Structure 1
Amino acid sequence: MLISFGEHAKVVRLEILSKIGEGLQDRESGDRNTD
């Protein structure tokens, strides 16, 4: 399973962005709950 470096970087970036998005949503809901 060989992927070109550019394609691999694109996939990694998407995974990181989705992880960050989930973290932000968790933090927002957490702040709302503690209010």
Structure 2
Amino acid sequence: RPRSTQEDEVVLEQVAEDPSTSVRFIERRTGVSKSQA
């Protein structure tokens, strides 16, 4: 499935808030799969 710009922005916001965050945490919090994050 192609990524959307909105998903990209959500992931980037999560990383900006906490650069040490994990892709698993991003997946749980946003619903964006860890392979996409």
The TM-score by the shorter chain falls in which range? 0.3 to 0.5
More helix by percentage: 1
Question: Which structure has the higher relative contact order (CA within 8 Å, separation 6+)?
Answer: 2
Question: What TM-score do the two structures reach when normalised by structure 1?
Answer: 0.45
Q: Which has the larger radius of gyration?
A: 1
Question: What TM-score do the two structures reach when normalised by structure 2?
Answer: 0.43
